[in-house]
Amino acid sequence: MTSNQVLSDVDYRVVGKRPIRPDGVDKVTGRAQYGADVYPAGLLHGKVLRSPHAHARILSIDTSKAEAHPGVSAVVTGSDFPLASLGKEADGYQRLKSATDHIMASDKVLFKGHPVAAVAASDAHVAEEALQLIKVQYEELPAVTNVLEAMKDGTQLLHDDQHTAYLGELSEKPSNVAAHLFFEKGDVEKGFKESEIVVEREFRTETVHQGYIEPHNSTAFWNADGQLTIWCSTQGSFMIRNSVCDVLRLPVSQVKVIPTEIGGGFGGKITAYLESVAAVLSKKSSQPVKLLMTRSEVFEASGPAPGSWMKVKMGAAKDGRITAAHVTLAFEAGAYPGSPVMPGTTCSLACYDLENGRVEGYDVVVNKPKTAAYRAPGSPQAAFAVESVLDEICDKLGLDPLEVRLKNAAKEGTRRVEGPVARKIGLVECLEAAKSHDHYKKPVQGKSRGRGVACGFWMNRGFQSSVTMTVQYDGTISLLMGSVDIGGTRASIAQQTAETLGIAYEDVHPTVVDTDSIGFTFVTGGSRTSFATGLAAIQAGEDVKEQMVQRAARIWDTPPEDVEYADGVLRHRSDPELKMGFKDLAKQLGTTGGAITGRSNIDPAGEGNGYAVHVVDVEVDQETGKVDILRYTAVQDAGKAVHPSYVEGQMQGGVVQGIGWALNEEYFFDGKGQMMNPTFLDYRMPTSLDLPMIDTVIVEVANPGHPYGVRGVGEVPIVPPMAAIANAVHRATGVRMSSLPMSPGKVLEALWENGK
């Protein structure tokens, strides 16, 4: 049984409680509408023809037989997109070419599964038949699927016109390295000279997928009046709108995106893959068109987390104080630039207060699908490398790993290597909570068993959010927001609304609306939604309160400054006989001026950094190399857990995904860039049978940038698991693993190589 704890000093009336989720009944009864459930009248079914090669030039595409096939209403290729009519001299041509080619190749395919054509037909079976009739001639090119190989001079180039950007300059020669990042603090070489011990190691991780259950989907209808409506499963309806408008050269007023319920995302459902293709098919056919990815298409043609090569050099004094660190990260971006190497570099050393640090990052294109976000993108890989080296230093110095982390822990005022200074943060409190936890106090018993610890960081962000709320005449609140609900944000935003207004949680009715019905709202992400959209709801609530005060003042024929609003009740400051509850006043709105609507459009700062500390016990089978997780405890600073059950779920979910990343999950490619395991049968994700119950400890160090102290919680939980498990495997076997996943075969080979 789990032993979940909330370490809190502040109690609120609604925030911090565990009410029923507003969308729960619809989801458990099957009434909730997901993307695959959208069926407008006259719907056609689309299918995408994808490249069988990881790297090839497109010599010709013949769609004539597919167009003539009975039941086919439209066929599109790259020539049907606006890019085809633009000259190379046009402003922004190269950026637009990359954006368009990603969703429909024009002259070259850069990964297996790259779209080259699409059809819309009366049903999915006819569309499949039509795909077989499209003839594409390719000139196959060598595939580059390894980040270190891609960085070498003379390696096959994916883009002939790509040059490395470094400190504001571009390299003379084209390169597969899109960008080279560099940050430095203090005197690193001096720090290493002062070290009692220096450890330098290299690490590798493989490409992994977010593993959401619902495949990508999109339904589009390009109406005769020029208006385009899109229904899709997405983490950000406005991001989809922007992408479609960009690729199809449309004004935002012409495109409406309606987000459906979402069956998981974890960052992987931010990118638009199908929407523009479905839209062009709809325009050509004059009917709505639905596109659905198969599971293999999801693996091969959506955005996974990048594989990486990393090197960490770290020095420390006898007492474990870190004297210097140099981190080098090379991340695979996939077919187009834009890996999460930037956040990887900024997160790599962020848990520690060190005087001397240097971090370098390389964004490298390879013949794999373009990478996408996956919970704290870039930070898990960096933590695996840094926390493993720090653990080795602890081992060599004979020091307790939690004590060393406490000695070096970042705190308020700590300046990170890339510059930002920490405000009030809770890493020290998390480390102390882990140190005092029953899990850490109990000794590890049994042969081939070991315990590992690791820290994790994510910077969290605010970004734009919009909320409107209307007071209904029965005293309830109609709450409209642009943030898609993935992990319970309807509940967390409703709770903050109810807390602000002093009314019952059950009287707030949240609705996620389309892009025409609310102001611009950034994507739903684990580090921002409850914080930023929650802040928007609080501000909209304050707007409602102010208007309610004015309305009560009108009824009582008194100046508004004589009326106060507290805990859902309006009172005259000097006449105790004059008071009204929220619902009492709501009943009079229709006869005293009409409905009251509050609103807020914000782009807040003050998001508050997120930290976590994980402790894990493992057992390693010396005969097979299999690693079993025996016990796992995740400690995290949530600032204030708005809905503790959801926070615990986020923590446990991140741990489970981290366990999969650590032990089993990987894209396996052959020499030609063909993914050999694009199904859930062969891409090994952990199930309940592979996992223990996961303990959680929620630490609440209030974020001063939010009225209720909220921090983002959804991203940090995936950061420490790989390092913690690797450190536990070392304690269990004496062998330190430097490559993920630590699958049975790899562990067994490492044991043999070390004479175990």
| 625-647 confidence digits (pLDDT tens) | 999 999 999 999 999 999 999 99
568 and 503 Cβ atoms separated by less than 8 Å:
yes
Which phi and psi (to 5°) does residue 308 adopt?
Answer: -150, 155
Average pLDDT on 224-252 reads 98
CA atoms within 13 Å, Cβ hemisphere of 520: 11
The per-residue pLDDT of the chain, averaged, comes to: 97
Give the tokens for residue 255.
């495109």
* Strand order through the sheet with 694-699: 5-7, 694-699, 627-637, 610-620, 449-458
For residue 1, pLDDT over 50 is answered with: no
For residue 384, pLDDT over 80 is answered with: yes
Burial group, residue 528, by CB count within 10 angstroms (0-12, 13-18, 19+):
buried
Query: Across-strand partners of 509?
Result: 478
pLDDT, residue 755, reads 85
What is the CATH number assigned to the segment(s) 308-460+608-753?
Answer: 3.30.365.10
Query: Across-strand partners of 452?
Result: 616
682 φψ region: left (φ > 0), alpha (ψ -120 to 50), beta (else): alpha
CA–CA dist 728, 643 (Å, integer): 32
CA atoms within 13 Å, Cβ hemisphere of 488: 20
What CA–CA distances, in Å, run from 126 to 5, 52, 535?
55, 21, 49
Residues 433-454: b if buried by 16+ CB within 10 A, e if exposed: bbbebebbeeeeeeeebbbbbb
- Characterize the bridge pairing of strands 217-222 and 289-292: antiparallel
- Which among 112, 1, 114 has a CA at the least distance from the CA of 48? 114
- Which among 51, 35, 32 has a CA at the least distance from the CA of 43? 35
Burial group, residue 112, by CB count within 10 angstroms (0-12, 13-18, 19+):
buried
585 and 595 Cβ atoms separated by less than 8 Å:
no
Average pLDDT on 384-412 reads 98
Average pLDDT on 229-234 reads 98
Measured CA angle at 710 (ends 704, 711), to 5 deg: 95
Query: Across-strand partners of 462?
Result: none
Which phi and psi (to 5°) does residue 331 adopt?
Answer: -110, 140
Interval 261-272: pLDDT, tens: 999 999 999 999
Query: Across-strand partners of 730?
Result: none
For residue 756, pLDDT over 80 is answered with: no
Is-same-fold flag (308-460+608-753; 465-602)? yes
215 and 293 Cβ atoms separated by less than 8 Å:
yes
Rg, the chain, Cα only = 27
- Which among 682, 675, 676 has a CA at the least distance from the CA of 743? 682
Structurally, at CATH architecture level, domain 465-602 sits in 2-Layer Sandwich (3.30)
Q: Would you report the helix, strand and coil content of the chain in percent, each value rounded to 5?
A: 30, 25, 40
Residue 393 CB partners (closer than 8 Å, separation 6+): 197, 199, 314, 316, 320, 404
- Which ranges of 634-705 does DSSP label H, i.e. alpha helix? 644-663
CA–CA dist 732, 711 (Å, integer): 35
CA–CA dist 20, 83 (Å, integer): 48
301 and 194 Cβ atoms separated by less than 8 Å:
no
Confidence of residue 2 (pLDDT cuts 50, 70, 90): low
457 and 351 Cβ atoms separated by less than 8 Å:
yes
Residue ranges of domains in the chain: 35-141+216-292, 308-460+608-753, 465-602
Q: Hey, what CATH topology would domain 35-141+216-292 get?
A: Aldehyde Oxidoreductase; domain 3 (3.90.1170)
Query: In this prediction, what percent of the chain has a pLDDT beyond 70?
Result: 100
Average pLDDT on 653-678 reads 97
For residue 3, pLDDT over 80 is answered with: no
- Which among 647, 648, 654, 645 has a CA at the least distance from the CA of 710? 647
Query: In this prediction, what percent of the chain has a pLDDT beyond 90?
Result: 97
Interval 337-353: pLDDT, tens: 999 999 999 999 999 99
Interval 64-108: pLDDT, tens: 999 999 999 999 999 999 999 998 888 889 999 999 999 999 999
Confidence of residue 170 (pLDDT cuts 50, 70, 90): very high
Residue 753 CB partners (closer than 8 Å, separation 6+): none
pLDDT, residue 6, reads 84
Interval 730-749: pLDDT, tens: 999 999 999 999 999 999 99
Give pTM, 2 decimals. 0.97
User: What distance, in Å, lies between the first and last C-alpha atoms of the chain?
Assistant: 35
